[in-house]
Amino acid sequence: MDRRQQKTRQAVFRAFTNLLERKSYSNISVQEIIDGANIGRSTFYAHFETKDDLLKSLCEEIFHHVFSDNLKKETTHDFSACHDDIKSEITHILYHIQGSKKYIKSILSCESGYIFMEYFKEYLCKVFDNKLRMQELKIPFEYILNHIVCDFTETVRWWMKNEKYSPEDISSFFFNTNPLAFNKEFQF
């Protein structure tokens, strides 16, 4: 993708997320996104087939960075020295969710929240998969992976409604209350 295309996509993402901070996803029209990005209708449709496709692309953009293998020092947190530490990885993810909470809350509260959650679960499976494969499990692998991923996504959904907690708090809540993660037969 050339620089001009990247610039256009970023303008669309910016317009879309600005709208998500003020309006619910279902009440945002493609025309409002086009107006906010200052582009033509044909330019929008050259990049995205639908508003749901735009949401999917935004999720991919967010998750590509959040779930990067290389944790880098950032302005709000630094987990760069924490290699193979699942709790640090999860806390890092939570910092990024917190930084995007205005529009993530809007996405989760609408009928298309399932799109965000499905992508979120897909990326989380990769995070937990590697840790689970190192364990001797008495319960089917697929069951435990699904359980932990669903538990974490619901933890995030709850957190979006109860914003008074820090990423470290939520990470601790998750790991201290998840019986699978702290069972002797299954520890990260």
User: Helix crossing, 113-132 with 86-99: angle to 10°?
Assistant: 160
Q: Is the pLDDT of residue 77 over 60?
A: no
Domain range enclosing 113: 62-187
Q: What are phi and psi of 177, to 5 degrees?
A: -110, -5
Examine the domain organization and report whether 10 and 91 are in the same domain: no
Residue 57 belongs to a domain: no
Instruction: Put residue 186 in one of left, alpha, beta given phi > 0 → left and psi -120 to 50 → alpha.
Output: beta
Query: pTM for the full model?
Result: 0.75
Phi-psi region of 70 (alpha: psi -120 to 50; beta: other; left: phi over 0): beta
Residue 11 lies in a domain: yes
3-state secondary structure of 34: helix
pLDDT in tens, 108-124: 777 677 888 888 898 89
CATH number for the domain harbouring residue 142: 1.10.357.10
Maximum pairwise Cα distance, the chain: 58
Evaluate if residue 181 carries a pLDDT over 60: no
pLDDT band at 89 (very low <50, low <70, confident <90, very high): confident
pLDDT digits (tens, 9 = 90+) for 146-177: 999 999 999 999 998 888 999 999 999 998 88
Among 12-21, 23-32, 73-82, the range scoring the smallest mean pLDDT is: 73-82
Q: Do both 22 and 71 map to the same domain?
A: no
Looking at the structure of the chain, the number of domains it has is 2
Q: What angle do CA 62, 63, 66 make, to 5 degrees?
A: 90
